[in-house]
Structure 1
Amino acid sequence: MSFSLSVKSTIHFVGVLSFVRFSSSLLGLFTTYGTITPQSPQVEIGKNFTATCVLYETAESTADDIFWTCNGKVPEELYTKINDSAVSVTIKITPDTCKWLICNKQPRYVNQTPAIHGIMLTKGYPPEKPNNLSCMAVQSGQKISPILNCSWEPGTRDELLKTNYTLHTSWTGFNSSQKSIGYINMETFPSYCELKIWVEVANSLGKVQSETLTVGDANYLVKTNPPLNVHIYSENNFPRSLLVKWRRPIEKHFFRLKYNIRFCAVGSEDWSEVPPNDTESDVDSFRLQHLKPYTEYVVQVRCMHSIGLGYWSDWSANATWWTPEDKPSSQPDLWRVVIPSQGKSERRVQVMCKDPVESNGRIRNYSIKIQDGGRKTVLVNRSETESRKIIPLYQFVLPDDGEALIELDACNSRGMSPRASLTIPKFTHEPPSVKSLSWFTKEGRLWVEWVPHRGKARDVTEYILEWVSVSDGALDWQRERASRTGLANGNLEKFKRYSISVYPMYSGKTGKPWTEPAFLDQKAPMVGPVVNVSRCGKNDAELRWMEIPLDKQQGFITNYTIFYTMGKQEQSITVSADTYSYTLKHLTSGSKYVVRVMASTVAGDTFGPEYTFNTLEYAPGEIEGIVVLVCLAFLFLVVSLVVTCILKMERIKKKIWPPVPDPSNSTIANWSPDFPSKADPVSKENALGDVSVVEVDVFDGRSLCEEDKAGLPLKKDKYLSEEHSSGIGGSSCMSSPRQSVSDSDEGGDSGQTTASTVQYSSVVASSGYKGQTPQPCSSQAQTPSFARSESTQPLLESEEQPEGQEGSGQPHLRHPRNAYFRRLPGGSSDDDDNNSGDPGDLNQLEMEDQGLTLLQFSPLEEGSQQTTPTEEGQTPDGQLDPIPSYLPQLRGYRPQ
């Protein structure tokens, strides 16, 4: 508890002590402990300044406690102790000296302010003396104005202080002055009186006065108005002079005047002045002499006090007039233009001229004399409004082997000029040209230099410098007297192409020219080349562009740059200035390209418009080549097929059209070699004699002969190996080809293939029958033997049995007859033709056919047992069915 009270008492004591110190500092702020003299002075830059700080008794300090600050503490060696309460300081004033100088004392407390007093230093310079004081009084109406205007030159440095300028005169008046000018209104101008004038300048650092301007007569300070009503007059008898008259601007009782006159030709800036001694007297007219005849002149006049003191008046307004005409004093400038004729041995000459330099009047006409083998005189009149600088005079034709002398006289109203002459030599005898020619530009002018021809330089009297505008053909020329450099003085235009030519003149005879193109100045072409594609291929394209018109080139073309772009890939090619076509190579086929051409001069570049083209998918002739190759290949294929067909004709015919044998030559009658048939004595070669129809009585108890029995086992094996082909007609042309073994060893054709062989079958009911005559045989019943023929004869329609007719009850449909195997009674083919329409014969044939149906045809099967015809031919009711000629085929013919 006691500890807490002790801490609180300590904190309270410290707070009271801090408050006392803060109060003391506040009292110090509002208490003055001393002062500084002088107070806020204006100090001069470059000089020393001394200030003294004096302490009051209330400061409770001594001089030893004082220190000075000025942008920092001032060094103590600059202090001077005056007594115990005063200390001075001396500092040098510079433009960088501080603005505030403060006197301080050492503080007794921590928070006590050390400053005692401070002063502000105003820096500056004292005024400088004005120089060149001058004053002028101007004319106002017919009198002199009472206001005197003066001017002077003030000091060059800035005073940095407020400075007053005051203009004073020996005559009282209102004064108004600025830094360099001022005026005094004297109410009445003191003519013929002495006048003193000066300027006074003062500021806080001092005062200064100019030199006094003393004038014995105030009229010497007067500037009058310019002379009035200036006029010019000409006199016909004096073509080289003009009379100038004027009126004085002020009355003579003020003072006398003297005059100054100047003149020049209209358009010229070179003024000529009349000598001052010729116009010192107070006159009102003057005659100008030694002027050029028929020339317009401009004249101006001014005046001032005749004593020569004071000021010249302003120049009067321009007065212009023409001098009278005089006869020409120089010859006309004669020249020609020679134009060769196309395909002819002649030249067309255009004669032209300029007016004489000293025409001394308006040229009214020209007289031309031409000697080209004859002599002719031509008079050319000029109109009043003719203002051309170059006058075309006459045009004539001159042969290449001819020479002409042209003489020209110019006439005005006062007489004729000296004669000018020009000789045009023969085309083959023209004197030589200069050796070389060059040009350059300097300060916007065109300069031409040339080198004379060796050995002929002494004979040259002058050179003709000619320039022709290429764009419009404007021509001009000038003469250079035995010089090697010429400045083209014509009105040449920038960015325009000119043809510069130099002609050496040999005593009036023109030599050969040397011509070079030139530009006064160059810049980028006005337009770019217009490009187009003249030929486009698969991987190349030929570009063409026209030359930029000469009036739009604006400089010499240095090169062309071709830019071509496909997609975002751009490439460029630079070609020479004389190239106007280029072939782009290694392009991508079937692609789109954008091309443009840039023309360049030494001063810039200009792009032409863009052109878009597409390369070809195929090169020219490539499609035609492909078509030709395809056609040739197709033709080769066709020819090969045709040749193959020709070479394989027989095999192809056998493949497509199998050979069909003649039924009349069929070997069906000779199927069985063991049972040869008897020859029909009445058969003929063209009849079906080889085919026989065997009629067998099945109920005949006679059996096959023993010799037939012996052949059955052998044939049985042969039949079983061929899968038991069906009977007659059992195979068709549509069945699959199979190998067939002939029943007879001598009846088959070994050269025929199985694909072209159609097999036939025959049934021999009994071995006892051979041919058509039955033979006695064994009494035992024999199974009918099945024989096969390898005839290539296709089956006939009547042999093919549709499946739908198997169960038909119509015997004639179930067992169709084959007409080829039929032999009419009588056996002769001739008889067949003759008796084909006999109904009796047809009935007999049908009866025979019915007898044949009693035979049953079946192939032998392995392991099968032979049956007698009686067993097979019986029906359940004991009746005999008609025996078919061959077994009916189910589902077509069995494969062979």
Structure 2
Amino acid sequence: MISTSMSVIVVLVALVNGARNEDDIQPCAKIQTSSSVVHLGSPVTASCVIREDCPLVIGRAVHILWRLGDRFLPSSPVANESGRVSEVVIPSFNHTREFLTCCVRTSTYQVLEGVEIRAGYPPEAPQNLSCQTNLTTPNTLTCSWDPGQQETLLDTEYTLHTEIRDSNENHTYELLPGVHRYTIPRYGFVLFSDVKIYVKAVNELGEATSAPIILEPVSSAKFDPPTILKIQAVPKRYGCLKLSWSLSQQQVWMRNLQLNLEVRLTTADSSQRREQPILVNRVRPTRSVDRCRLLHGTQYLAQIRVRYQQSPWSEWSSSQSGVTLESAPTGRLDSWMRVSGDHMNKQHNILLFWKPSKQFRANGQNVSYIVSVKKQPGEDGKVCSTMGNYCTFQLPGGAKKVYLSAVNAAGKSSPTEVRIYLPKARAVISDVTVIPQDDRSLLVQWRSLLSSSLTGFVVEWSPLLQTDLFFTQFELTARNQTLLVITDSFEPYKPYGISVYPRFKDGIGLPQTVNAYSRQKAPSMVPKIQIKKIGKSHVEFTWDEIPLNQRNGIIQNYKVFYCDTKGPISVVNADLEKRRVVLRDLNTVSLYEAFMMVSTFGGSLNGSTIHFEIDSFDTVAVVAIVPVSVIGLFFMVIFIAMTSFSNNKRLKGHFWPAVPDPANSSIKRWTSESTQGSHLSLDNEEPNPMYLSHLSFLDDPVKLSKEDDDPWLSAEDTSDLGESICGSPFIPGYSGSNSDSVPYVTVTFSGPCSSPTPKDPHVYLRSESTQPLLETEESFSPKCYHNIASVGMQSEQRFFGPSHDSVPERVADPGILCDDFPFLRALSLRHTEID
């Protein structure tokens, strides 16, 4: 198949070959078609006739071929003798533009002739022809139209035609291709004469003309915005305003025209708005316009616009304000209250809100409100007076209702009775939800339990970032209504508190409150993560609450992302209320990094990254244990110190030997039983009731023979003395004759501790001591001491031995009573001699 570029070259060669000289310019073949421009998709018929003198076919057999673009078409030769005529039929031509060529086949394909066929659609009649006059200098008339929905695919020419009837002037205006708008200059029309206007479209497949329009150019003029000169109240007519107006300075010359006027009035606070403008027909600019049936004593903003007959409306004029005449307020007020205080003592604090009902009319500019306990408000019964929409007061005792009245300069409204409903601990509302409708409205839904005393609901809302009660709004609903669309100037990304209260016949029930946003986005900040505690394998994070003005929505979750240098990223959800999270199972040798993400319904925001690592030594545990240990040690020291002070003597007996004090010694009885407990007991601080002291022995340098053994040990019968002395447990180390101790001395006491204090001082023989005596050659004999006086006896008693240092004699002083001294009695039984 030959390409398109090659086809062009072959055509040029054939043309060159066909033109042998300047005089011979006839092609070798001629193509005839049914039409070179056809409807898109219609059939096309063509025939090719080769000249007899064409050098390409002289003396050769001819085979004619057809090609459309780069595609060969099937053809059929015409039945004749030469065979140099061929025809082709294209059933449906679906190209907007294409070449049809006639070729012969020799050694190569030779193009003999070609023709271009174009396809499209005839033009549609132009639609929506309209013209508008511009009255500014210079005056012009601009017309525009729609060429139709279907593209012609062919070059189409448009012309605008005008016929002025009064002057029989005709004008034709040619347009550039693709332009469907034309501005007629001022000489082409007359403002107050009718003109016929139409548009014609022409292409190779046909032509079409629009429906003509006949108009007076001034009736199609769009006037400049008019001007309100003055607006004022009509004297002695309540609810009426008078407007004086004029055309612009450029159009004031048409002040005698009868124009149509529209007046748009809105209240200054936009609470009452007239959506539909008021139409005034056939009015001259020199005449004022009265508008009545307006609210009394209300400030209005007025705008006007004009047109002539069916011309376009002008733009709205600038606003001017006016106030109607005042009259006394009419209608009732809707109210809602909160009651607090001491209900037992009937001391009630009232927070009363109100707003105009649909029937209320303030009828004045400066309206104030009076709350009174009397139906006719006066100074004696008045509890509150304000120009706002709420009031706080303490209810006088015994009052069950108050009266609310509106007051302006013209008078007072009829009082609205407001009953005092005390709060009741009844919860019948649940599942309060808020769904944003748009930036100015929210849908509030709730559920309620059935109750026969339920009379309705109160929906209250206020911006949480505003503390002034002025911004508190409310709506009253019926008992069978559980949804409400509230409309207000809700700001996006700002929180609002919405509460639903149930109303009963005898009080107000417990409310349900939720926070809501008309639109949410990501928070403006992320709180800084604070490390509260680091353990051996865990760490605890805390953070502060996001300020309410930076949340931009309801916080859905806090997520903490953390990872070490080797591991993947982990995420944990934090507790919304406690604002804390604990990361567990952490490695002690890794450096971690973490950051927090805070999300609302409107988006998420990531916080800054912090780094931390886990210590192998649990500092927190040590910090917790050390104070406890120190406190325990402190109490232990105190306990030991107190025990030491209370058991001073007991501890002293354990650490130091007990040294009897001679000044506190006594002897009550000299019996064998008394000798067993004569030593001071460590378990009792008081002296032992046994008063016989034991004997101690010292080393004797002179070794006695067997026959001359110690007379204390040679006695055969030692029932008393041996038990009390030789076998005494209070003589450590002494066990018999081979002992290293010798008798030292015996201490006697005058009586027991409980006995009366003797009149004469005690006299002691010699005290028992742990200090060893000096080794001397002196014979073993006790010294001579004075005997103590016996209790209850006046006679003097003497101990064995004289009162001077000498060897004791064998025979005791006959004045000594042996019965009173068991020690001497034992000696006398054995008749032991002491050398």
TM-score (norm 1): 0.56
Q: Does 1:380 align with 2:385?
A: yes
Residue type matched to 2:148 in 1? G
Give CA deviations for 1:707-752 in whole Å, capped at 9, x if unaligned: xxxxxxxxxxxxxxxxxxxxxxxxxxxxxxxxxxxxxxxxxxxxxx
Provide the C-alpha distance between the structure 1 equivalents of 2:516 and 2:474, rounded to a whole number of angstroms.
Answer: 17
Counterpart pick for 2:48 among 42, 46, 53: 53
5+ residue gaps, structure 2, are 1-12, 21-25, 164-168, 637-655, 657-700, 703-776, 778-835
Could you tell me how far 1:466 is from its partner in structure 2?
0.9
Cα distance in 2, alignment partners of residues 397 and 538 from structure 1:
63
- Indicate how the Cα distance of structure 1 residues 127 and 358 shifts in structure 2: closer, same or farther if over 3 A, else same: same
Question: 2:301, 2:319 within 8 Å by CA — same for their partners in 1?
Answer: no
- 2:727 aligned residue: none
Q: How does 1:745-756 map to 2 (within 5 A)?
A: none
Counterparts of 1:82 and 1:207, CA distance in 2? 42
> Which of the numbers 123, 145, 170 marks the counterpart of 1:152?
145
2:275 aligns with: 271
User: What letter corresponds to residue 102 of structure 1 in structure 2?
Assistant: T
Contact 1:125 1:159 in 2 (8 A): yes
Hey, what does 1:617 align to over in structure 2?
617
Q: Provide the residue aligned with 1:246 in structure 2.
A: 245
Separation (CA, whole Å) in 2 of partners of 1:612 and 1:72: 76
Q: What residue in structure 2 maps to residue 211 of structure 1?
A: 211
Give the structure 1 partner of residue 649 of structure 2: none
**Distance change >3 Å, CA 29–CA 214, structure 1 → 2:** same
| CA-based RMSD | 4.8
Q: How many Å separate the matches in 1 of 2:573 and 2:117? A: 76
Return closer, same or farther for 1:469/1:135 CA change in 2, 3 Å cut-off. closer
Deviation track 1:25-76 (CA, whole Å, cap 9, x = no partner) reads 9984765651334599444433343444332313345895322222356544
Q: 1:273 to 1:517 in 2, by over 3 A?
A: closer
Q: For 1:488-499, what aligned pairs fall within 5 Å after superposition? A: 488-499=486-497
Q: In the alignment, which residue of structure 1 is the partner of 2:405?
A: 409
Distance 1:392 1:568, change over 3 A: farther
Query: What secondary structure sits across from 2:303 in the alignment?
Result: strand
Given that 1:264 and 1:272 are in contact with CA atoms closer than 8 Å, whether structure 2 keeps it comes out as: no
Quote the residue 2:789 is aligned against: none
Q: CA deviation at 1:224?
A: 5.1
Match of residue 368 from structure 2: 365
Q: Write the distance in 2 (CA, Å) between the matches of 1:132 and 1:583.
A: 74
Aligned counterpart, 1:393 = 391
Task: Report if the CA contact (8 A) 1:63-1:83 is conserved.
Answer: no
Query: Structure 1 residue aligned with 2:64, among 39, 63, 66?
Result: 66
Confirm or deny: 8 A CA contact 1:542 1:583 kept in the other structure.
Answer: yes
Residues 1:469 and 2:463 are matched in the alignment = yes
Alignment deviations for residues 427-463 of structure 1 (CA, whole Å, 9 cap, x no partner)? 5xx3745433522314323211234552336x52x53
The one of 166, 169, 172 equivalent to 2:170 is 172
Distance 1:127 1:561, change over 3 A: closer
2 CA distance for matches of 1:73 and 1:364? 91
Q: Distance in 1 between matches of 2:324 and 2:289?
A: 15
Counterpart of 2:496, as a letter, is Y
Distance 1:439 1:29, change over 3 A: same
From 104, 114, 118, the counterpart of 1:122: 118
Pairs within 5 Å for 1:732-751: none
| TM-score in terms of structure 2 length | 0.59
Matched residue, 2:302 = 298
**Are the counterparts in 1 of residues 532 and 540 from structure 2 also a CA contact under 8 Å?**
yes
Query: How far has the Cα of 1:295 moved from its partner?
Result: 3.1
Question: CA contact under 8 A between 1:257 and 1:304: conserved in structure 2?
Answer: yes
Structure 1 segment 288-327 matched on structure 2, within 5 A? 288-293=291-296, 294-305=298-309, 312-327=313-328
List per-residue Cα deviations over 1:122-181 (Å, max 9, x = no partner): 33333332234333444356xx94x54333322333233322211222323473535422
Q: Contact 2:160/2:172 (CA < 8 Å) preserved in 1?
A: no
Change (3 A) 1:299 1:259: same
Secondary structure in structure 2 of the residue aligned to 1:172 = strand
CA distance in structure 2 between the aligned counterparts of 1:398 and 1:615, rounded to whole angstroms: 69
**Aligned pair partner of 1:418 in 407, 414, 422:** 414
Which string of whole-angstrom CA distances, capped at 9 and with x for unpartnered residues, describes residues 361-417 of structure 1? 22343322258xx974245355xxxxxxx5453344889xx8763432221111113
Deviations 1:796-826 (A, max 9, x none): xxxxxxxxxxxxxxxxxxxxxxxxxxxxxxx
CA distance in 2, matches of 1:41, 1:624: 110
When residues 192 and 526 of structure 1 are mapped into structure 2, their CA distance, relative to the original with a 3 A threshold, is closer
What is aligned with 2:787?
Answer: none
- Paired with 1:93 and 1:375, the residues of 2 have a C-alpha distance of 102
What's the CA shift string for 1:837-892, capped at 9, x where partnerless? xxxxxxxxxxxxxxxxxxxxxxxxxxxxxxxxxxxxxxxxxxxxxxxxxxxxxxxx
Amino acid across the alignment from 1:363: N
Check conservation: 1:365, 1:410, Cα contact below 8 A. Answer: yes
Change (3 A) 1:421 1:513: farther
Contact 2:432–2:513 (CA under 8 A) maintained in structure 1: no
Q: Rate the CA distance shift 1:214–1:79 in 2: closer, same or farther, 3 A.
A: farther
Give the 3-state SS of the residue equivalent to 2:492 in structure 1: coil
**Structure 1 residues 538 and 158, CA, compared in 2 at 3 Å: closer, same or farther?**
closer
Q: Give the SS at the match of 1:128.
A: coil
2:98 corresponds in structure 1 to 99
Deviation track 1:688-710 (CA, whole Å, cap 9, x = no partner) reads xxxxxxxxxxxxxxxxxxxxxxx
Q: Which residue of 1 aligns with 2:706?
A: none
Contact 1:466–1:502 under 8 Å retained in 2: yes
Report the 3-state secondary structure (helix = DSSP H, G, I; strand = E; otherwise coil) of the residue aligned with 1:239.
coil
Alpha-carbon distance in structure 2 between the residues aligned to 1:158 and 1:615: 80
Superposition deviation, residue 533 in structure 1? 4.0
Name the structure 2 match of 1:787: none
Q: Classify 1:37/1:197 alpha carbon distance in 2 versus 1 (closer, same or farther; 3 Å).
A: farther
Residues 225/544 of structure 1: CA separation in 2 closer, same or farther (3 Å cut): closer
Contact 1:259 1:282 in 2 (8 A): no
How far apart, CA to CA, are the structure 2 residues paired with 1:67 and 1:527?
80
Deviation at 1:601, TM superposition (A): 4.0
Q: In 2, are the aligned partners of 1:338 and 1:350 still within 8 Å (CA)? A: yes
The structure-2 alpha-carbon separation of the partners of 1:244 and 1:118, relative to structure 1 and needing over 3 Å to count, comes to: same
- Kept in 2, the 8 Å contact 1:423–1:508? The answer is no
SS in 1 for 2:550: helix
Task: Give the corresponding residue for 1:439.
Answer: 433
Count of aligned positions: 590
Unaligned runs of 5+ in 1: 1-23, 383-389, 633-645, 647-663, 666-828, 830-896
C-alpha contact 1:544 1:581 (8 A) present in aligned 2? yes
Q: Give the aligned partner of residue 669 of structure 1.
A: none
Counterpart of 2:48, as a letter, is: C
Are the counterparts in 2 of residues 532 and 611 from structure 1 also a CA contact under 8 Å? no
Alpha-carbon deviations, 1:223-248, whole Å to 9, x = none?
55555555422225223111223346
Does structure 2 retain, via aligned residues, the 8 Å contact 1:355–1:363? no
Q: Give the deviation of 1:330 after TM superposition.
A: 3.2
AA partner of residue 147 (structure 2): P
- Structure 1 residues 404 and 269, CA gap change in structure 2 (3 angstroms): closer
Equivalent in the alignment of 2:155: 162
Cα drift, residue 333 of structure 1: 4.7
Alpha-carbon distance between aligned partners in 2 of 1:472 and 1:228, rounded to the nearest angstrom: 41
CA distance in 1, matches of 2:147, 2:366: 62
Aligned equivalents of 1:47 and 1:487: distance in 2? 62
Deviation for aligned residue 1:496? 3.5
Distance 1:188 1:584 in 2: 87
> Contact (CA 8 Å) 2:18, 2:54: kept in 1 or not?
no
Asked if 2 retains the 8 angstrom alpha-carbon contact of 1:365 and 1:379, the reply is no
Larger Rg: 1
Within-5 A mapping of 1:708-787:
none
| Identity over aligned pairs, percent | 23
Moved more, 320-329 or 25-34: 25-34
* Residue 504 of structure 1: aligned partner: 502
Q: Which amino acid aligns with 1:492?
A: F
* Amino acid paired to 1:180: H
3-state SS in 2 of match to 1:114: strand
Instruction: Give me the whole-angstrom Cα distance separating, in 1, the residues matched to 2:222 and 2:186.
Output: 17
How far apart are the structure 1 equivalents of 2:381 and 2:580? 53
